[in-house]
Structure 1
């Protein structure tokens, strides 16, 4: 933290510079700007102004997170990332409303890209299962992908 707080103009420049790099949530901006301003009300007023101008948009951030992660993460993982970034529960719910329906297709595409074929031995199939679980897919979705790939013995995976 600087010894002298930023002026309102400096704080505005700092905020615009942060938003120029990538979209951020209001809580991220609050956290990043607070150390540079002695008055929390000034930061809040600046963020209100940025939202009014459309420069700070949590809805746009949610859409970008979905677009960038949809092809390689589960709906649950995307929701978790949004919450970590400080998006409101209502925005997360609206933005991710239809994602759960695509989990099997997303998991299958990821599995095919990584493995191409079902492993012959149990140890390797378990590794393939863990690969999907580590990307945030539920066990039910991961097992369904392995069944689609041709695993008839998925009971081994302890449903």
Structure 2
């Protein structure tokens, strides 16, 4: 069995740039990936500071990108949870999600339409549809508006 060797410190910059070339990362995500690759946090932090100064790494850009990629299938509650899990600050999450608040109802309606053919036939079906939309991260207020105003399509 081959043992995994520790990466050379000189590989840190190259590895970080390779990760960023694939997609946007939050600072926390990138630091975690580099630590898991075997790099030392004392060397990672200054490099990430430099990347932020050069605007190669940006939590704001990551959050905006994440929301743009995932908003068609998820509500603001789920998006906020996922951003928190990736180390994005609460203030930044609130700012980024404020831009999507206007179309939350339309997005929820689109998700509902893709899943269901029409209005719920009975109370059990209504609860099922509501649970589905809530599991996608839409607020209870939005979920109620969608299901209560549903008409057979």
Return the TM-score normalized by structure 1: 0.83
Partner of 1:75: 76
Distance between the aligned counterparts of 1:34 and 1:82, measured in 2? 20
Partner of 2:18: 17
Distance between the aligned counterparts of 2:131 and 2:49, measured in 1? 44
Correspondences of 1:4-153 after superposition (within 5 Å): 4-7=6-9, 9-35=10-36, 36-38=38-40, 40-150=41-151
Residues 36-89 of structure 1 deviation map (CA, whole Å, 9 limit, x = unaligned): 234x33211111122222221111111111111111111111111111111122
Gaps of 5+ in 2: none
Residues 92-138 of structure 1 deviation map (CA, whole Å, 9 limit, x = unaligned): 12211232332222111111121131132322222111111111112
Distance between the aligned counterparts of 1:27 and 1:70, measured in 2? 22
Gaps of 5+ in 1: 152-159
Note the C-alpha offset of 1:149. 0.9
Greater mean alpha carbon deviation, residues 135-144 or residues 120-129:
120-129
Residues 2-49 of structure 1 deviation map (CA, whole Å, 9 limit, x = unaligned): 554522x301111111112211111111112235234x3321111112
Distance between the aligned counterparts of 2:28 and 2:128, measured in 1? 38
State the superposition RMSD in angstroms: 2.0
Greater mean alpha carbon deviation, residues 14-23 or residues 27-36:
27-36
Give the paired residue count.
Answer: 149
Return the TM-score normalized by structure 2: 0.86
